[in-house]
Amino acid sequence: MHAAAEDEVHDEFFPLVPAPQDGSRWQAPTDVEQYLYKLSRADSAYAYLRTLAIEGVYYPVRLDQARAAGQGTYPMLTTETPDGRTVAQVYTSGLLPRPHPYLVYEYATLGALAQIVPREVDVLAVNAATPCEQYFLTDDEERETWLDLHHELFSPDALMDRVVTRRTGAPAPGPLLHGLACGAHLCFRNGDAWNTPHWHGMGYRGETERIADDWGVQDREDWLGIQQRLLDQEVSPWYWDFVLGARTALLRAGARRVDPEQWRDCVESTLRARAQEDGTVDDDPEFGDFVAHLRALVGKVLRYEARFRADGLLPPDGFVRTIAAWDIGRGSKMARWGRGARHATESEMYAAIEHAAGAAQASYDSWEEFSAGYVLGRCLHFDAEEFGPWYTTVLDAHRALTSDPDSPWRTVPFTGGA
């Protein structure tokens, strides 16, 4: 079952972007299309192809056909020209239209296109009906060129770990834009435009497989459940924030700084008091093990925070008050992933993203604080104090997002804009 709402039925199947009529320079949605615009005007078809080999493209498919397609089958919507030629249309990501309830777009590399474009297709139309359109024949020699360029230039890693920002078509300042910015860590890691309001991600198949493999989301009901739990900050273990909250309570009670042993004792005494209130047997061995685990978690948090300060992720006297950002940030992206997989309607995606904005502002005072909370949550979840890639990759994201002039954290105010 896929999600569709009556107000989402529209006729924007393919992009239609007129060129400027006054002779002015066209402002493309992203830097990729801006470069392709330059190449198309210079008639540099081979350089244009090289760019496609690096970035990949998206092609339209009827949703019912996409859902029915098995592994190794790649349905593709084609059109006919008045002179009888068959055309396959593909687009770069910045030009993809608003998602349609019954039409999806699939991602393909240039090398994959050489294999999956039907043999009856005569012409490959790239970014048709836009200022950066280009057309290629699809004979055997041309397909061989696509394969050669793919093997020479395509690298999935090169598409990751980068700030991508839409220049046009982004939401105006407000809760939606702020909520989109909450997913910036994952947008950076995946190389996605952080501020696009129309989500296609890795294409319909890619988005469906992503949340099925990584999150166990197989259908709309699964998505609704995990989306709500993320927004309610119930996916991460409750006791992470319980431990952090014990330190906050001590500081509010007047402590100028919290001694680690005092913090551990506060965690244990509060936990035991709650157990007695709930009627839990607090001398049970399993409960004792849990208390010991939470006392040890204090030391783990302190060691991570020391490393964060050394790496500039926290200020010299800074600490993390809550890991809420770990669920909020993923909730911002889960809304988009659910939309890409057609488990979510457009309005549900927007509502979830705006909810993420409000939750972030209720928990933090700045993007830097939000990021530190996200990074600590990710480390507690995955890193096991190895300070390996689970930490270093998100540290790279933090540094880029706090310094790149196109980053949402340099352009979207944390407070006052949502």
Per residue in 263-272, pLDDT (tens digit) is 999 999 999 9
Predicted local confidence at residue 42, as pLDDT? 95
Does the structure show a pLDDT above 70 at 5? no
Predicted local confidence at residue 282, as pLDDT? 64
Predicted local confidence at residue 286, as pLDDT? 87
Does the structure show a pLDDT above 50 at 199? yes
pLDDT (tens digit per residue) in 171-196? 999 999 999 999 999 999 999 999 99
- Give the separation between CA 82 and CA 185, rounded to whole angstroms: 47
Predicted local confidence at residue 276, as pLDDT? 84
Predicted local confidence at residue 2, as pLDDT? 58
Sorted by sequence, the CB contacts under 8 Å of residue 252 that are 6+ apart come out as none
Q: What is the rounded average pLDDT for all residues in the chain?
A: 94
Report field, pTM of the whole predicted structure over 0.85:
yes
- Cα separation values, 46 from 42, 158, 190, 324, Å: 11, 20, 27, 48
